[in-house]
Structure 1
């Protein structure tokens, strides 16, 4: 049986620049010439990015451009503080999608888990710290920023310690347990001249960004109202979880998942509410809700008179849906606050008929987009899109929601006559 021909160092692939000479393959059977590839196939370089011209006709959606990551040595090094579910299930995998950031250190109170995760992700054991050793990050020049993924009640302490170590801070939401603690975090970072960003991933998620364009550009006329639901269930022995201890969580469903409804409404409109009404319920005798609430319903009225009705609960099957009612269309977004699986359906008039059009976007991993934005702000000395002030404002509004629920009376708030009053410049998230 004849052997399959192989290429070795004597049988090389050579590119010919002489027009029809094309691709020359030298093999045992003699030289063969192939047509030269076009630029559509091989692309070209613009700056530090490889760019391909369209290879499909305009009727087809173009493919997204190839990633253009910074070389590993130029990426911003992060220490991931806390190795719970979010870190292991979402954040560490998301770093593989980042183009400007990398994980260089881990912090955990569980030595065995710390060792295991460090081995899995190739983290130097010398860059693995216990909480007691946390302040030693000051001596690790590879760490430029920390990502704090701890229970809410620990956010202030580790933000202040990171700032004292000269490290920038990306902190999970909610920012803290109340507005007073949140303001202390802002002050600590300002004093240390480090950046503070709150991880509002929805403001970096592609479908919600496109929806914000529709709202702010009045694509379908004035936004009249919005309904927002973020509910899920907790285990029967859920009182053992830190989320059900008020000192650690600051509250129940509202700061944990209801915050998505609140912050997204503010982000989509760019406005701040001027009136809030609310109602709260917890099942009597349920130990899971001895310290924190199960269910909150609240309504926000904005200066433009957009009305937003929100429901959040730990007692209903998982649902993360938002609907926006415009003057000429309805926008439905299932899985609006999920880690993945978003979609956007627009219902509008088409001639004498009603049409439903599903918008399908090629969006980046929302956690990677969020982390890369923080890295960009560090590299370019920019203010984050979601700085500490954004987190403080949400705490102020959540306190107003609790007040409205307790008193049964609407809470009036001073009007803030500025769009994106608490945000930095827009993040450059590519949507295709």
Structure 2
């Protein structure tokens, strides 16, 4: 039977004295279907500006969300954000290859930055973003929304507490069907399944282990008869080994039916989460014991769901207005990009790639 779980809340910060104003950059599917609607559920964050290359598209969206017409900017006038006093945070929701460029411009405008993942295409870009944040005395947060999601938070806590004994292995799967035309299928713009869906597996393994991997090895399938995958692999499987001895098996695909599953094998049982990386629908189960050596039991934890985007935007609002560093900072974003680099090196060269400590 499912049991309620008292430790189900996402991380909290002291509430700010006023809501933080957000400028959302990019009006793609994620912005329109998830981020902008989530503001209606926020307590400490509100949308006050939009940046888009299509003003005809942006103006109706601005009206729908109560954003003034003079706060709708194009990319040529991005720097005008500096003069908008009600903008505290710039939320970068652009293709991967543009993250660094517009994060730097936002810091030049004197704003805090919430940037979608992956943080950037290269480690060098990540470092420039962090350097710019320090120079501007502003905060940089990478939008790892699952750090504000109760089911993922609880799974991480159970593993850190060794509730079922020490973690031994991890299985993470994040698959979906992605068809052309889609910028995520363009290698030159930071596309591919590892940086898009595989990064969820990478980051989840960090939440579970509290460690950085010491080595990575990967295999990929890039079908020659499907033009959608002319530039990027369709599917990638990779292994990560951690200093404690934990081994994580991760798989990600742009050509498989949707599957977003996380299982952690521990010494005394395992923890399962369905829809682990989805926007909603998470289910968390614990299996204790083994039927071959004695009685085994399965327990489902019932937690109160939250809107992931509202939770992370409220959290960063508090960080930005207090000018305090967020949990999912640039260092975490850089660490994930380095792991992606190691996976891609293994795909190019074959064999195990060691990551620097």
TM-score (norm 1): 0.77
Shift in Å at residue 264 of structure 1?
0.9
The within-5 A match list for 1:331-350 is: 331-349=271-289
Residues 232 and 61 from structure 1, CA distance in 2 versus in 1: closer, same or farther, beyond 3 angstroms?
Answer: closer
Q: CA deviation at 1:70?
A: 6.7
Counterpart contact for 1:230–1:312, Cα < 8 Å: yes
Q: Work out which structure has the larger RCO, using CA pairs closer than 8 Å and 6 or more positions apart in sequence.
A: 2
Look up the SS of the partner of 1:228 in the other structure.
strand
Q: Residue in 1 aligned with 2:239?
A: 299
1:407, CA displacement in angstroms? 2.1
Secondary structure, aligned partner of 1:212:
helix
What's the CA shift for 1:381? 2.5
Residue 310 of structure 2 is matched in structure 1 by 368
Shift of 1:353: 2.8
Aligned mate of 2:328, from 354, 371, 386: 386
Alignment match, 1:288: 228
Which of the residues 199, 212, 216 maps onto 2:156? 212
1:327 pairs, out of 267, 279, 285, with 267
Aligned ranges 1:25-424 → 2 under 5 Å: 74-235=18-179, 238=180, 240-248=181-189, 250-349=190-289, 352-415=294-357
Q: Measured at CA, do residues 75 and 280 of structure 1 come closer, stay the same or move farther in structure 2, by a change above 3 Å?
A: same
Task: Report the Cα distance in structure 1 between the residues aligned to 2:265 and 2:354, rounded to whole angstroms.
Answer: 24
Cα distance in 2, alignment partners of residues 102 and 70 from structure 1: 14
CA offsets 1:160-188 (integer angstroms, 9 cap, x no match): 11000000000000111121222111122
**Secondary structure of residue in 2 paired with 1:372:** helix
Measured after TM superposition, the shift of residue 361 of structure 1 is 0.1
Q: Any conservation in 2 of the 1:171–1:196 contact (CA below 8 Å)?
A: yes
Displacement, 1:122?
A: 1.0
For 1:102 and 1:381, the matched residues in 2 are separated by 18
Spell out structure 1 runs of 4+ moving beyond 4 A. 59-62
SS at match of 1:296: strand
> Is the partner of 2:171 in helix, strand or coil?
strand
The answer as to whether partners of 1:319 and 1:335 remain within 8 angstroms in 2 is yes
- Partner Cα distance (2:300, 2:137) in 1: 45
Q: Secondary structure at the match of 1:271?
A: coil
**Conserved? CA contact 1:206–1:366, under 8 Å:** no
Using the alignment, how far apart are the partners of 2:4 and 2:59 within structure 1? 48
CA offsets, 1:64-105, max 9 Å, x none?
99xxx979x811111011111111111111111211111111
User: Any conservation in 2 of the 1:266–1:272 contact (CA below 8 Å)?
Assistant: yes
Q: Distance in 2 between matches of 1:225 and 1:216?
A: 14
Distance 1:397 1:334 in 2: 24
Residue 355 of structure 1 deviates from its aligned partner by 1.7
Cα distance 1:350–1:261, how it changes in 2: closer, same or farther (>3 A)? closer
Structure with the bigger percentage of helix = 2
Residues 349 and 355 of structure 1 are in contact (CA less than 8 Å); yes or no, is this contact kept in structure 2? yes
Provide the rounded CA distance (Å) in 2 between the counterparts of 1:243 and 1:60.
Answer: 39
Deviations 1:204-253 (A, max 9, x none): 11111001111111111100111000011123xx1x221112222x2300
Matches of 1:350 and 1:377 in 2, distance apart? 44
Who wins on radius of gyration, i.e. which is larger?
Answer: 1
Question: What's the CA shift for 1:388?
Answer: 1.1
> SS where residue 209 of structure 1 aligns?
helix
Unaligned runs of 5+ in 1: 1-58, 416-432
Secondary structure of residue in 1 paired with 2:76:
coil
Distance 1:241 1:302 in 2: 34
Q: 1:15-26 alignment to 2 at 5 Å?
A: none
Tell me the TM-score normalized by structure 2. 0.93
Greater shift, 292-301 or 178-187, is seen at 178-187
